[in-house]
Structure 1
Amino acid sequence: MTTLYIDADACPVKDEAERVATRMRVPMILVCNGGLRPSRNPLVSLVIVDQGPDVADQWIAAQCGAGDVVVTADIPLADRCIKAGAHVLTPAGEELTRTNIGQRLATRDLMSDIRAADPFFRGGGSSFTRADRSRFLQALDATLTIAQRGR
């Protein structure tokens, strides 16, 4: 059975994911360090992990597997989930796969090095838009359908 895991601490599409999961009758697990209210939806579970760096990521990576879907913006977590056989989407609806995760990890590492070398570097992502939400909804629907079919 497919399960939808949400790296929930800073996820901007929790509500959208819940709507899709409910419509498709897929259990959804929100994983965070706290600060979220439990949903009344019987398909949605809330897992609160201990405080600390990457504790939620470690929990998700240990639980997910083939046929599951993970929503995260964390590239190292995405890599671990892909290796476990899960489908991975970013909150902006980008599918991360074995084909593109290496490039994303390299870019992440490069940007980390640039920030470390220049503390005044102001690089950053663009703001989250309606188009991102729409793209996410379409991608999640398609990805859950594929996951439920076992591909």
Structure 2
Amino acid sequence: MSVWVDADSCPGAIKEILFRAAQRTKVQVTLVANHYMKTPASKYVNLLQVSSGFDVADDEIVKRCTPGDLVITSDIPLADEVITKGCTVISARGEKLTRENIKSRLNIRDFMDTMRSSGIQTGGPPALSQSEKQEFANQLDRWLNRHLSGAQ
């Protein structure tokens, strides 16, 4: 059981929650990024630095994750791929992405891409709120408790 983090776009506050959880529960957390980032000195937290390039980090997560693992990402196509492999996905905003909701999220993403490519300014996401951080921590705790107790 491992936690894989799409770390290039993961907010620092979410990484800190993951670092504390890794230490507390002794669950392996691997940050996958195409640039160096500082991680705590812990045998439970690793950085896997991959080469730069489109979807290189995503492809590495897909290649290495196994059914039952947790993937932290807000990248909808990556989430779709790892859900298909049997992983659980939580976005940095605390949303659990599932087989039931991922296709509609892909459709929304594609629609927004179409709007942006036609010149419409859609703006970026708002700053991460305290309630979203709390929801992420709650979702993470639920996953950890389920897996540490042996229940699937």
Q: Which TM-score bucket, shorter chain as reference?
A: over 0.9
In structure 2, C-alpha distance between the alignment counterparts of 1:82 and 1:35, rounded to whole Å: 27
**Unmatched 5+ stretches in structure 2:** none
Contact 1:30–1:46 (8 Å) recurs in 2: yes
Scaled by the length of structure 1, the TM-score of the pair is 0.93
- In structure 2, distance between residues paired with 1:74 and 1:52: 15
CA deviation string 1:63-114 (max 9, x = no partner) = 1121100000100000011011111000011100000000000000000001
Aligned match of 1:76:
77
Deviation at 1:133, TM superposition (A): 0.7
The answer for the alignment partner of 1:123 in structure 2 is 123
Q: Alpha carbon RMSD of aligned pairs, Å?
A: 1.3
C-alpha separation in 1, matches of 2:77 and 2:68: 19
2:57 aligns with: 56
Within 5 Å, give how 1:105-144 maps onto structure 2: 105-117=106-118, 119-144=119-144
Q: How does 1:25-104 map to 2 (within 5 A)?
A: 25-104=26-105
Aligned residue pairs total: 149
* Contact 1:33 1:51 survives alignment (8 Å): yes
For residues 98 and 147 of structure 1, do their structure 2 counterparts lie closer, same or farther at Cα, with a shift above 3 Å needed? farther
Supply the distance in 2 between the matched residues of 1:40 and 1:115 (Cα, whole angstroms): 41
**Shift of residue 147 of structure 1?**
3.5
State the TM-score, normalized to the length of structure 2: 0.92
Distance 1:136 1:9 in 2: 18
- Distance (Å, rounded) in 1 between the aligned partners of 2:147 and 2:56: 26
Q: Structure 1 CA distance, aligned partners of 2:39 and 2:19?
A: 12
Displacement of 1:22 in angstroms is 1.8
CA contact 2:112–2:122 (8 Å) conserved in 1: no
- Identity percentage over the alignment? 37
